[in-house]
Amino acid sequence: MKKSLVIALIMVLAMAGIASAEVKFGGEMTVEYAIDTDKEGPAGKGYVDAPLLLKATAEEEGVWNVDAELKVNGVKADEDDERAVKLGKWSMNLTDELFVADLWGGGLEKTEVKTPLEFVKAGKKGEADKAKLRVTSDIAGYVDLTLDYQPDEVVIFAEKALDDVTVGGAVKKDLTDEPWRVAGHVGYTYGDLTLTGEVGMDTKEEEDNIFAGGKVAYELNEKITLNGKATYSAANLDDEWLAEAGAVYTEDLFKVGGTLTLADDLDEKESKVTYKVAADVTYRSNEDVAFDDLFDDYDTLTGYAAYAEGAYTTAAKWEDDNEPLMEATLKGAGLVVPDMVWVYGEFAYASDKDADIEQDFEFIDGQEPESVADEVTLLVQDYFKVKAEGTVKPVDKVKVIPAVSYSKWNELTGDKNAKDLSKMDLSTAVTYELSASSEVGVSYTSTQYKFTESQEGDDEPKDNFAKVWFTTKF
């Protein structure tokens, strides 16, 4: 499969050259040397990594284009990895007056296509070993049609706007099985009010296979938006009834939102309806950066920003859900010394004696003790995480990036158990900008896990390593 895709890409690029289309090449190269200071020896054990990423783009403007990545590494990832050259993310596009066709894979993600209440969805990711095809057309102005295909699955969406009313439908078919999933939807817009309804069925079950829902959005004014949603899935599907209401208030420098969600597991008559109340607020000192991008590249901020979110969910009082869940997240970032020092901080907290959390806790492969297994559950009773990071530019072209994070869990359960788990990460990196596209750097990272009441083994996993690297983009 991969070989055929590579050949197809080469053929397209070759045809592009024959057609005198412009082919652009670029990429990224990194040479990295890591020293594992936990290994025996006076200086630890060193590892070399030299990945090269090549990118090629060819196009005939407004007609077609091809983008492809080729990953090359002279160093094996492991003893079983004999491939030094691999196809990375790739995509092809063909644009015609009647249709647009996209073909992609290698882990590349594109926009997800779905019905208004998401009862029918087509994935957005082209897997590494599979190609994904999407064809869209307005059928000469009659109807907007989208066909999404990947091996063993096809999804078709159709939609038509008729003045203030929009009607549509979707069909999803597993090509290896008989069942169909179908849905129809209608939307109506009246001024600042939009109403949407959707209904459908999944034929994998002969009865109790209906789903339905509706949602509303209303722009009260330029600053306030109100929204609501209700969905139902029958017994042989998700067997759930859900209702949600929310509001968002936006000013130039801050945004506030809140939701109330009611969920009922219809399959379990003894379970209680759960209520979730959530609220969030975002603040920025100026409008240089969009609300959604404030914390992605905090060292580009020209002021400061803050974010807070809190949520409370009642318990269903059934089986393993007998305690309420409380969650909180705080983030802050900003410029401390103009053009020199930026800081970022994060705090997360969750408390629920019988809920679990699966993030931010990956034990180091090959480290003792065996009691800390891969397949485990981390209970979130009094779970919390704190993180602090800074970026300092003492002189032109030089960055110093110190960071520290600490996470704590109350209990780990699974085949083996442990209590009072914690993880500490300390790191420092120094980079020097050789040019606008190249840098060298050195870093040191120390990770330490601690726990009590393990069933076997007293060793606590740790991982300490240093890195030196050079990277350039071209």
Mean pLDDT of all residues belonging to the chain? 81
Could you identify the residue written with the tokens 């300390």?
426
Task: Output the pLDDT for position 266.
Answer: 72
Please state, for a pLDDT cut of 70, what percent of the chain lies above it: 77
* Domain parsing of the chain, residue ranges: 1-95
Q: What is the pLDDT of residues 174-212, one digit of tens each?
A: 888 888 999 999 999 999 999 999 999 998 877 888 999
Q: What is the DSSP letter of 2?
A: H
Higher-confidence residue: 158 or 57? Answer: 158
**What is the rounded average pLDDT of the residues 431-458?**
80
pLDDT exceeds 80 at position 89 = yes
pLDDT exceeds 70 at position 434 = yes
Highest mean pLDDT among 5-9, 63-67, 93-97, 190-194: 190-194
Q: What is the DSSP letter of 454?
A: -
Task: Output the pLDDT for position 473.
Answer: 85
What is the greatest pairwise CA distance in the chain?
76
**What is the rounded average pLDDT of the residues 118-136?**
87
Task: Output the pLDDT for position 45.
Answer: 61
Task: Output the pLDDT for position 351.
Answer: 81
Task: Output the pLDDT for position 461.
Answer: 67
pLDDT exceeds 80 at position 455 = no
Minimum mean pLDDT range among 306-320, 352-366, 402-416, 419-433: 352-366
Q: Which long-range contacts (CB under 8 A, 24 or more apart) does 243-252 make?
A: 248/224, 249/223, 249/224, 250/223, 250/224, 250/225, 251/223, 252/287
Q: What is the pLDDT of residues 325-351, one digit of tens each?
A: 888 999 999 999 999 999 999 999 888
Report d(CA 88, CA 105) in Å as an integer.
8
Task: Output the pLDDT for position 267.
Answer: 65
Task: Output the pLDDT for position 130.
Answer: 78
Higher-confidence residue: 142 or 199? Answer: 199
Report d(CA 64, CA 105) in Å as an integer.
17
DSSP string, 5-54: HHHHHHHHHHHHHHTT-EEEEEEEEEEEEEEETTSSSTT-EEEEE-EEEE
CA 128 to chain centroid: 17
DSSP string, 359-391: SS--PPTTPSPTTS-SSEEEE-TTEEEEEEEEE
pLDDT exceeds 50 at position 98 = yes
pLDDT exceeds 50 at position 372 = no
Report d(CA 154, CA 134) in Å as an integer.
10
Higher-confidence residue: 83 or 382? Answer: 382
Q: What is the pLDDT of residues 386-420, one digit of tens each?
A: 999 999 999 999 999 999 999 887 765 554 455 67
Task: Output the pLDDT for position 374.
Answer: 44
Task: Output the pLDDT for position 416.
Answer: 46
Minimum mean pLDDT range among 49-53, 172-176, 272-276: 49-53
Q: What is the DSSP letter of 112?
A: P
**What is the rounded average pLDDT of the residues 152-159?**
94
User: CA–CA distance from 208 to each of 1, 202, 234, 267, 270 (Å)?
Assistant: 40, 9, 5, 12, 20
Which of these, 309, 297, 308, lies nearest to 334 by C-alpha position? 297
pLDDT exceeds 80 at position 228 = yes
Task: Output the pLDDT for position 80.
Answer: 53
Q: Backbone phi, then psi, for 2, in 5-degree steps?
A: -65, -40
pLDDT band for position 359 (50/70/90)? very low
Higher-confidence residue: 82 or 271? Answer: 271
Please state, for a pLDDT cut of 90, what percent of the chain lies above it: 42
Which of these, 240, 308, 228, 302, lies nearest to 274 by C-alpha position? 240
